[in-house]
Structures are given as structure tokens and as C-alpha cells.
């Protein structure tokens, strides 16, 4: 069967680079090898031992119910990712991610469709909103909330990315409303709410997690102020934000400066046109966690100590760059590359290699690298971010 697959791939990946290496003659998985050619035959600039920095949600266990599904990438799947975990979730129209809370903060990006989110805070202030493609939301630790799929332009529900500020987060360890009540004696429930025990005769015997319900009506009908409005909106329209534009792409940075509710997660939505790349840079504050939305990419991570490793990414993949390691992200496909850069921080920060060299005495730079002055003169005054040639 593998031999048949191999014949369907033109110029299949092989561990060969010039006179180095040799073709595989034993068992192989050509489709998997094709997804990460730069691991099969690393560029000559790769060296040393660098941990795996790539995982695909396609390899994550999928938890399915009548209302939708969820799959996660945590430190179990990608051990290097200690600061951030991610969950890819799908809800049908009416499908509910049940009322719950957790010990990690939740940041989210809506990939497709539309959903209704609800929450209250410790002062009883309530929040409800409808979010659609490109929108964000943020729920701080301990804040109870829910998500429900809606109908939009004929789309049945929604799909979104959840990001948590703890690499050890697990969807199986959230505090679920149905799970709590199922493990509380009914006489205690009756005493708490001042009603007969019979009022709780039909509560679920175990957690619901994701379940199917009716599609809710207009948002206005669900609006409840509670003890008052939230001091800051828990949702944000990232795509309405004016991006930083370059010839080869755009960058939208969202952190607590423009989305005040998001106290522990900062992010950038990066779009790179064919022939372009996210410039050589590093982040001086925390690890970078990436989610690839569309297109194909290549990234080489410089880990210091004469070590570097190159990876290939496609839609649905997760990438990680450990704290302060230098890297780039190149569009290796024929369509726009779109991906999220995620950071466990209240602010976004990066250091540009080009800008560092431009603002260092040029004689000193040339003494290091032996490069022509034209290289330094060609660097723009503003941070390049997305470049190409």
C-alpha cells in the first residue's frame, strides 16, 4: 500500500542532499515525509540537536459528541510547549460547549462560522456577544463561560482555536457545571436554591462537555446585564483592526494595549504573500506558539550553541519557538500564508535582525560579517516585519 502511495507523489522526499545521504529502501510513509521535507533532508545550515517544534492537530485525539468535537495540543503532544496549549473545537449550530470554568485563561480566534459567548465575573457582571470569523475572546482564570454555535450564511455552527496560558492545560480537567451538580448531593442542591429535591430529579448523571441544543434566538433576547456591564469587553474584532502593511504581507498585533481584557495572551495575525517571509527576528520576553491557518511555510530555528533545525508547516499545524531563539517563517507555497503568533504575555515584542544591524555602527557590523555596505543601506528605518525579494 505504501508503494502505491509513493508512486502518486512526484519527486517524493528522500534523505538525500547532493552526495550526502541515500534513498530509503525500507518501509516508509511518503505522505507524512512529504509534509516535512526539511526534516527528511535538512538544509546544510541545520546542525546539532533541537527538540521537535512541530505538531499537527491531525495527530491529536478527537473527542466527538452529538454537538461537535474537540482536539487538543498540549505539553503531552508537544513537550517543548510548556507555556501555551491549544484546542481546536467545532460546534454544530445549537451545539454548546457547556457552562464551565478553568484554572488557565482562555484566548480564542474564530476560524469559521459564528458563535454566542456568555460569561459573568466575580462581581456578578454579565457578558454576552456573538462572535464571527476573525473575532477574538478572552476569559480570565476562574471566570465561568459558555460557547454555542449559531447559523450564519448557511454555515452549520462554527470552528475555532482556543489558546490557554498553560502548556499543561487539559480539556478533560475543566470545571463543568453538569459534572459539579452530578457530584453534589441533591439535598445540598435543594438547600442551596431553596427548592424541593424533586426539582433536580432530571439533572445529568455525568458531564455534558459538548451537547446539542436548540439554536438560540437574536442576541438582544439573551442580553442580561446582571450586576452591571463588564469594565472591558471580553470580545474583540481583530480583522477590523488596521494592519501593518508591507509589500509582501500584513501583520495585526493584538495585546492588552488594544484588547484590554486579554491580560495573559498577546498575539499577531500574520499574512505573507508568495515569495515573502516573516523576517529574521526573535522575541525577548517569552516563547512563541504558532497556529497555521492556511498556506505552506518553512521555519528554521537557531537555538544557539551551533544548533539549528528546519521544519515545514501547513494548515492545522502548531509550531513552537522557545524563548529568545532566532527564526524566520517563509511562505513556500503559491497562496497567502496565514498564521497566528501567540505569546503568554500581556504585550507583544520582537527584535528585528535587520533593525539591530542597521542601528549598530556599520563598521562594527562589517567587521563581524564581512558584508557590503549596500546590505545595511537597504534596510528600512521601520521594522521590516514581512519581507521578500
Q: For 256-324, what is the HEC assignment?
A: CCCCCCCCCCEEEEEEECCCEEEEEEECCCCCEEEEEEECEEEEEEEEECCEEEEEEEECCEEEEECCC
CATH number of domain containing 200? 2.60.120.10
Q: Is residue 312 part of a domain?
A: no
Other CB atoms within a 10 A radius of the CB of residue 372 amount to 10
Please say whether the beta carbons of 329 and 277 come within 8 A: yes
Tell me, yes or no, whether 191 lies in a domain: yes
Give domain status of residue 154, yes or no: yes
Give me the pLDDT at residue 8, please.
65
Q: Is residue 338 part of a domain?
A: no
pLDDT in tens, 288-346: 999 999 999 999 999 999 999 999 999 999 999 999 999 999 999 999 999 999 999 99
Rounded Cα distance, 333 and 338, in Å = 11
- Report how far residue 51's alpha carbon sits from residue 63's, in angstroms, rounded to the nearest whole number: 28
Residue appearing with cell numbers 530509503: 24
Count of structural domains, the chain: 1
How many Cβ atoms from other residues are within 10 Å of residue 70's Cβ?
20
Q: Which residues contact 326 (CB under 8 A, 6 or more apart)?
A: 280, 281, 282, 301, 302, 353
β partners of residue 180: none
* pLDDT one-digit tens code per residue, 80-90: 999 999 999 99
Contacts of 318 (CB under 8 A, 6+ apart): 54, 55, 56, 57, 73, 78, 81, 86, 289, 290, 291, 292
31 counts as catalytic: no
pLDDT digits (tens, 9 = 90+) for 140-199: 999 999 999 999 988 999 999 999 999 999 998 999 999 999 999 999 999 999 999 999
The residue to which cell 542532499 is assigned = 17
Distance CA 181, CA 204 (A): 8
Q: Is residue 186 part of a domain?
A: yes
pLDDT at 2 (0 to 100): 43
Range of the domain at 118: 60-235
CA distances from residue 153 to 114, 235, 299 in whole angstroms, order as listed:
9, 21, 36
| Catalytic-role residue among 242, 341, 363, 373 | 341
Is position 229 within any domain? yes
Is there a domain that residue 269 lies in?
A: no
Query: Model pTM?
Result: 0.95
* 359 located within any domain: no
Amino acid at each position: 500500500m505504501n508503494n502505491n502511495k509513493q508512486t502518486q507523489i512526484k519527486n517524493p522526499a528522500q534523505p538525500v542532499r547532493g552526495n550526502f545521504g541515500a534513498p530509503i529502501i525500507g518501509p516508509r510513509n511518503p505522505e507524512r515525509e512529504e509534509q516535512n521535507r526539511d526534516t527528511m533532508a535538512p538544509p546544510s545550515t541545520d546542525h546539532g540537536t533541537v527538540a521537535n517544534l512541530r505538531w499537527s492537530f491531525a495527530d491529536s485525539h478527537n473527542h466527538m459528541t452529538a454537538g461537535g468535537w474537540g482536539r487538543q495540543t498540549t505539553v503531552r503532544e508537544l513537550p517543548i510547549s510548556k507555556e501555551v496549549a491549544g484546542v481546536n473545537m467545532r460546534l454544530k449550530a445549537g451545539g454548546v460547549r457547556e457552562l464551565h470554568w478553568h484554572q488557565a485563561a482562555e484566548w480564542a480566534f474564530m476560524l469559521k462560522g459564528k458563535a454566542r459567548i456568555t460569561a459573568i465575573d466575580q462581581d456578578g457582571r454579565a457578558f454576552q456577544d456573538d462572535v464571527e470569523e476573525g473575532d477574538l475572546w478572552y476569559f480570565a482564570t476562574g471566570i465561568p463561560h459558555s460557547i454555542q454555535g449559531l447559523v450564519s450564511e448557511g454555515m452549520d455552527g462554527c470552528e475555532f482555536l482556543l489558546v490557554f496560558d498553560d502548556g499543561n492545560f487539559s480539556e478533560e480537567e475543566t470545571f463543568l457545571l453538569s459534572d459539579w451538580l452530578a457530584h453534589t448531593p441533591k439535598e445540598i442542591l435543594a438547600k442551596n436554591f431553596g427548592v424541593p429535591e424533586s426539582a433536580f430529579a432530571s439533572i445529568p448523571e455525568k458531564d455534558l462537555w459538548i451537547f446539542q441544543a436548540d439554536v438560540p434566538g437574536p442576541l438582544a433576547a439573551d442580553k442580561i446585564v446582571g450586576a452591571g456591564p463588564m469594565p472591558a469587553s471580553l470580545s474583540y474584532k481583530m480583522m477590523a483592526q488596521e494592519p501593518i502593511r508591507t509589500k509582501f504581507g500584513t501583520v495585526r498585533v493584538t495585546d492588552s494595549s488594544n484588547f484590554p481584557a486579554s491580560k495573559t495572551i498577546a498575539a499577531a495575525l500574520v499574512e505573507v504573500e508568495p515569495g515573502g517571509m516573516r523576517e529574521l527576528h526573535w522575541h525577548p520576553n517569552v516563547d512563541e506558539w504558532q497556529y497555521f491557518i492556511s498556506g505552506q511555510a518553512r521555519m528554521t530555528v537557531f537555538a544557539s550553541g551551533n544548533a539549528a533545525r528546519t521544519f515545514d508547516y501547513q494548515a492545522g499545524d502548531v509550531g513552537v519557538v522557545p524563548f529568545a531563539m532566532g527564526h524566520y517563517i517563509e511562505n513556500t507555497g503559491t497562496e497567502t500564508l496565514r498564521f497566528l503568533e501567540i505569546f503568554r504575555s500581556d504585550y507583544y515584542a520582537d527584535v528585528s535582525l535587520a533593525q539591530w544591524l542597521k542601528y549598530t555602527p556599520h563598521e562594527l557590523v562589517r567587521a563581524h560579517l564581512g558584508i557590503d555596505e549596500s546590505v545595511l543601506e537597504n534596510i528600512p528605518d521601520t521594522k521590516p516585519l514581512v519581507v521578500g525579494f
